[in-house]
Structure 1
Amino acid sequence: MKSVSEVDSLAEGAHAGQVDKIGVPYIEHVRAVAAGLTPFGDGLVMAGLLHDIVEDTDWTAEKLLAAGIPPRVVEIVEAVTNQPGMAYEEKIRRITADSSATLVKISDNAHNSRPDRAAQLLPDKRERLAAKYRTARATLWPAASRADVEAIVRIVNPALLAELDEVFGPSSAPAGGSA
């Protein structure tokens, strides 16, 4: 079985030469997504590192399995991979059927929604993507626990913390507080 550092090296090689929408080496995005998943263990960190590998490189699920990637990690990667002809909204709904894939996509969405990254996009693209990601959060976040969403966004994009009450309602009172 591969270690997280081996999976990181695999992802780095697979995404070599690729850049994201703002011209940053793509590996930085997958590492940021993986960082948001550290509270959930190595399997989800691996899935975060590999979440775009099937979609954006010549790697396949079969190649990942042959390379020693744990089958559950590959399942999660497949769950978050775009399917030809599937609308984005349908993809998001499909992802929520798998709780681990949901967490990976929440971390991906949080990183893609960072204000410092969005600020580098042209205004029309920034507005279009902000609406797309906000709509996705409306489906993704209720499919996870508030605590899990909060753990991810605290790491990846603290600016989203303000949205937690909108989706989940106000935080409950601490234990022992009045009801």
Structure 2
Amino acid sequence: MTTLAEVDALADHAHAGQVDKTGVPYIAHVRAVAAGLEPLGPHLAMAGLLHDVIEDTEWTAERLRAAGIPARVVALVEAVTNHPDTPYEEKLRLITRDPDATLLKIADNAHNSRADRAAALPPAQRERLAAKYRAARAVLWPAADPGDIATILRVVNPGLLAELTGTA
């Protein structure tokens, strides 16, 4: 059985040298996503660590399986991986067919929506992404258990809790 620490090491190696839009090492993003998912189970946390590895590195689903990553984890990573021929809105609808993939994408969205990360972006990009992430939450959140969403948000982006409870 592959451990969470082994998956973390794989993700760290796969994303070595990559930075996010704000210049922060990319591994910080996937670790934040995984931290929000860890209370919901090890497979979700592993998927959090690997959620961008197929999209943003040389790793493939086949290579992940060959490395001993559980098939369910690989399936979750594949479910949230962007495909150039699939519009983003359609991708979100497809993700909501799988409750765990939905939670994975919610955690990713929550970290991408953090105000402290957005503050480092140019205003036009910050506004465009904020609108994209809000629209995604309108699709993703109704497909998930509010308690699970709150569990993720408490760790990844507590600032979204008011939006979840309708007190924003």
Q: TM-score range by the shorter chain?
A: over 0.9
Question: Structure 2: how far apart are the matches of 1:97 and 1:83?
Answer: 17
TM-score where L is the length of structure 1: 0.92
Distance 1:119 1:92 in 2: 25
Matching residue of 1:33: 33
- Which moved further from structure 2: 123-132 or 90-99? 90-99
Q: Which residue of 2 aligns with 1:137?
A: 137
Give the C-alpha shift of residue 21 in structure 1: 0.6
Structure 1 counterpart of 2:73: 73
Q: How many residues get paired?
A: 167
**3-state SS of the aligned residue for 1:73?**
helix
- CA shift, 1:164, in A, is 1.0
Shift of 1:5: 0.2
Provide, for residues 130-172 of structure 1, a one-character-per-residue CA deviation record: whole Å limited to 9, x for no partner.
Answer: 0000000000001001101111001100000111133xxx8xx
Task: State the structure with more CA Rg.
Answer: 1
**2: CA distance, partners of 1:20 / 1:94:** 26
Give distance in 1, aligned partners of 2:37 and 2:121: 26
- Separation in 1, partners of 2:157, 2:165: 16
SS in 2 for 1:21: coil
> What is the match of residue 173 of structure 1?
none
Report 1:25-64 matches (<5 A): 25-64=25-64
Distance 2:72 2:165 in 1: 32
Unpaired segments ≥5 residues, structure 2 = none
Equivalent residue number for residue 161 of structure 2: 161
Residue 118 of structure 2 corresponds to which residue in structure 1? 118
Q: Which amino acid aligns with 2:12?
A: E
- What are the equivalent positions in structure 2 for 1:91-130 lying under 5 Å apart? 91-130=91-130
Q: Measure the CA separation in 1 of the matches of 2:115 and 2:18.
A: 22
CA distance in 2, matches of 1:131, 1:106: 15
Shift of 1:59: 0.3
Unpaired stretches in structure 1, ≥5 consecutive residues: 171-179
Aligned mates of 2:95, 2:84 — CA distance in 1? 15
Give the secondary structure class of the aligned counterpart of 1:37.
helix
Q: Where does structure 1 differ by over 2 angstroms across 4 or more consecutive aligned residues?
A: none
Identity rate, percent: 69
Q: Which amino acid aligns with 1:44?
A: L
Write the letter of the residue equivalent to 1:73.
V
